[in-house]
């Protein structure tokens, strides 16, 4: 049982560390990747010794142990999103890999010239470029439904496009990595299905701050990255509803994705291995289990309350700064806030904050079209995790005031 945030912090070696000046570092770039708890770090170093053999191939005990750990990672991912079966969980190297896989296999099977793929204007490059590439290859058309001034989706506009009857696939972020707003993915899923389209949700941020039950929000596909919820880098998931996933052809060919191979012809393995050619990043994927156990154990009222209070505090304090522009201030906000201050360059702010021991993201955040839409070339982003504290938020706001004094 988790008692409080301080106890959560004690599980993370990084949060116990200090810089050369003895300062405790403040890590506010959790949307990019989270720090790792000891339970994950220890599991990897242990498994490198006692479970390091290639998975799904050999009969000896060590290989069986490695396979058990890998499959336990898959089962943990299944349980996290309440998928009906472990077969619906394809293990990938991250959200980007999941979406590229999906765009390729879905495209091969379902997309023909003149079809449309519908995205929101608020997508990460990972949920835009693979679809753009697919359209270039197939002669399909990429369309976008608008995000309003306050960052919220315009579902009426989405419905108008869907009602034209050409959209085969809708793909949109559960929570944008710039706007930090929980999008109405249940409504969009219902709309897509009403007009006969399939829907994929990019859950890279949604899995962290909102969670999903793919049976109560029956999207066709859902992607997320393990490393953003405390697992090792090089881990990710593509969930696909069985009846649809089974209709899709493989993308990469190689070991493990086959049923039988002759010099002339290959037949393919069932889902999910059909989509997992070659040696997977099996030790990293196995960390999905301890990481998801940990992420689930910190989904407690104190953490929710702390996150809400920190979000409210940061929004209030940031809004009181002259020339402040918060990108995405409407709807249900999570502790992920992007901003600019008039007359000051975002990377100067981040560079000076770094000198003060505070890590924030700056730049385009892999969302160039969205930032351009808001008339910005980049922004500063703070994104918090379960281990961040109000004390750190106060230190960040005080540091930001000092930085702005220097830069203005
Ligand atoms: C909304 C969103 N989609 C996709 C990605 C890509 O994730 P990854 O780099 O883990 O593949 C990110 C990463 O920040 C993201 O925030």
**Does 288 reside within a domain?**
yes
Rounded to whole angstroms, the Cα distance separating 62 from 18 reads 39
The reported pLDDT for the residue numbered 298 is 94
Q: Residues 289, 209: one domain?
A: yes
Evaluate: CB of 367 within 6 angstroms of ligand 1: no
The residue nearest atom 12 of ligand 1, judged by CA position, is 204
CA 34 to mean position of chain CA atoms = 11
Give 405's contacts (C-beta < 8 A, 6+ positions apart).
none
Give 304's contacts (C-beta < 8 A, 6+ positions apart).
none
Evaluate: CB of 202 within 6 angstroms of ligand 1: yes
The reported pLDDT for the residue numbered 20 is 73
CA nearest neighbour of 388 among 16, 15, 1? 15
The reported pLDDT for the residue numbered 99 is 98
Q: Residues 130, 269: one domain?
A: yes
The reported pLDDT for the residue numbered 301 is 92
The reported pLDDT for the residue numbered 212 is 98
H-helix or E-strand spanning residue 315: helix 301-319
Rounded to whole angstroms, the Cα distance separating 370 from 14 reads 33
Q: Residues 133, 257: one domain?
A: yes
- Ligand 1 centroid distance, CA of 85 (Å): 25
CA 342 to mean position of chain CA atoms = 30
Q: Which of 126, 147, 183 best tests ligand 1's pocket when mutated (most atoms within 8 Å of CB)?
A: 126
The reported pLDDT for the residue numbered 282 is 97
Which of these three, 295, 330, 357, is where a domain ends? 295
The reported pLDDT for the residue numbered 291 is 98
- Ligand 1 centroid distance, CA of 172 (Å): 12
Residues in the chain with pLDDT < 70?
none
Q: Residues 288, 209: one domain?
A: yes
Q: Residues 86, 159: one domain?
A: yes
Shortest-distance atom of ligand 1 to CA 32:
14
Q: Residues 22, 154: one domain?
A: no
Q: Which of 103, 120, 121, 124 best tests ligand 1's pocket when mutated (most atoms within 8 Å of CB)?
A: 124
The reported pLDDT for the residue numbered 124 is 98
The reported pLDDT for the residue numbered 242 is 98
Q: Residues 285, 339: one domain?
A: no
Rounded to whole angstroms, the Cα distance separating 250 from 262 reads 17
Q: Residues 250, 396: one domain?
A: no
Which of these three, 253, 271, 295, is where a domain ends? 295
Q: Which of 31, 103, 225, 328 best tests ligand 1's pocket when mutated (most atoms within 8 Å of CB)?
A: 225
- Ligand 1 centroid distance, CA of 115 (Å): 26
Q: Residues 274, 336: one domain?
A: no
Domain that holds residue 251: 43-295
Evaluate: CB of 55 within 6 angstroms of ligand 1: no
Evaluate: CB of 177 within 6 angstroms of ligand 1: yes
Q: What CATH number does residue 258 fall under? A: 3.40.640.10
Which of these three, 262, 295, 328, is where a domain ends? 295
- DSSP calls for 120-174: ETT--GGGTHHHHHHHHHHT-EEEEE-B-TTS-B-HHHHHHHHHTS-EEEEEEES
Q: Show which residues are catalytic.
A: 366
Rounded (5°) CA angle 206-208-210: 55
- Residue pair 380/360 in contact by the 8 Å Cβ criterion: yes
- Ligand 1 centroid distance, CA of 1 (Å): 31
Q: Residues 263, 364: one domain?
A: no
The reported pLDDT for the residue numbered 57 is 85
Q: Which of 234, 281, 366, 369 best tests ligand 1's pocket when mutated (most atoms within 8 Å of CB)?
A: 366
**Does 122 reside within a domain?**
yes
**Does 150 reside within a domain?**
yes
CB atoms within 10 A of CB 356: 17
State if pTM tops 0.85: yes
**Does 359 reside within a domain?**
yes
- DSSP calls for 344-377: S-HHHHHHHHHHTTEE-EEE-TT-HHHHHHTT-S
Evaluate: CB of 127 within 6 angstroms of ligand 1: yes
Q: What CATH number does residue 350 fall under? A: 3.90.1150.10
**Does 38 reside within a domain?**
no
Q: Residues 169, 125: one domain?
A: yes
Evaluate: CB of 205 within 6 angstroms of ligand 1: yes
Place of tokens 């290859």: 137
Q: Residues 77, 135: one domain?
A: yes
- Ligand 1 centroid distance, CA of 94 (Å): 8
Place of tokens 């085969």: 168
Tokens of 73: 């990672």
- Ligand 1 centroid distance, CA of 212 (Å): 17
**Does 37 reside within a domain?**
no
Taking only the tens place, the pLDDT of each residue in 275-328 is: 999 999 999 999 999 999 999 999 999 999 999 999 999 999 999 999 999 999
**Does 36 reside within a domain?**
no
If one counts the domains in the chain, the total is 2
H-helix or E-strand spanning residue 325: strand 324-327
Place of tokens 């879905």: 106
- Ligand 1 centroid distance, CA of 173 (Å): 10
Taking only the tens place, the pLDDT of each residue in 343-367 is: 999 999 999 999 999 999 999 999 9
The reported pLDDT for the residue numbered 3 is 86
The per-residue b/e assignment along 88-100, b for 16 or more CB within 10 angstroms, e otherwise, is bbbbbbbbbbbbb
**Does 117 reside within a domain?**
yes
Rounded to whole angstroms, the Cα distance separating 46 from 52 reads 9
- DSSP calls for 187-221: HHHHHHHHTT-EEEEE-TTHHHHT---TTTS--SE
């Amino acid at each position: 049982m988790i008692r409080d945030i301080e106890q959560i912090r004690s599980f993370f070696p990084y949060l116990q560390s200090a810089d050369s000046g003895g300062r405790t570092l403040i890590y506010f770039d959790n949307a990019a990747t989270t720090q790792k708890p000891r339970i994950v770090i220890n599991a990897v170093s242990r498994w490198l010794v006692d479970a390091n053999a290639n998975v799904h191939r050999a009969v000896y005990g060590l290989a069986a142990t490695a396979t058990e750990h890998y499959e336990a990672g898959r089962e943990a991912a299944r349980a996290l999103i309440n998928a009906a079966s472990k077969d619906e969980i394809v293990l990938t190297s991250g959200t980007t890999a999941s979406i590229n896989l999906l765009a390729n296999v879905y495209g091969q099977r379902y997309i023909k010239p003149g079809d449309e793929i519908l995205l929101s204007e608020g997508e990460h490059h990972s949920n835009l470029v693979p679809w753009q590439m697919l359209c270039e290859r197939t002669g399909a058309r990429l369309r976008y439904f608008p995000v309003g001034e306050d960052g919220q989706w315009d579902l009426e506009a989405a419905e108008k496009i869907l009602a034209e009857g050409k959209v085969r696939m809708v793909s949109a972020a559960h929570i944008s990595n710039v706007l930090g707003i929980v999008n109405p993915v249940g409504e969009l899923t219902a709309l897509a299905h009403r007009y006969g389209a399939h829907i994929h949700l990019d859950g890279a941020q949604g899995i962290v701050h909102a969670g999903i039950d793919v049976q109560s929000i029956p999207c066709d596909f859902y992607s997320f990255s393990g490393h953003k919820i405390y697992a090792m880098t090089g881990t990710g998931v593509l969930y696909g509803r069985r009846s649809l996933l089974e209709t899709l052809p493989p993308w990469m060919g190689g070991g493990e994705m086959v049923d039988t191979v002759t010099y002339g012809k290959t037949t393919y393995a069932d889902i999910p291995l059909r989509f997992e050619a070659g040696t997977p990043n099996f030790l990293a994927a196995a960390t999905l289990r301890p990481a998801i156990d940990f992420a689930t154990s910190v989904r407690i009222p104190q953490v929710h309350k702390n996150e809400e209070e920190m979000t409210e505090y940061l929004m209030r304090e940031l809004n009181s700064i002259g020339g402040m522009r918060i990108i995405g201030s409407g709807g249900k906000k999570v502790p992920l806030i992007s901003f600019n201050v008039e007359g000051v360059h975002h990377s100067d702010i981040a560079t000076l904050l770094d000198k003060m021991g505070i890590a924030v993201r700056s730049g385009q955040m892999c969302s160039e079209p969205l930032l351009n839409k808001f008339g910005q070339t980049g922004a500063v982003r703070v994104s918090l995790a379960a281990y961040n504290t109000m004390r750190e938020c106060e230190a960040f706001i005080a540091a930001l005031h000092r930085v702005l004094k220097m830069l203005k």
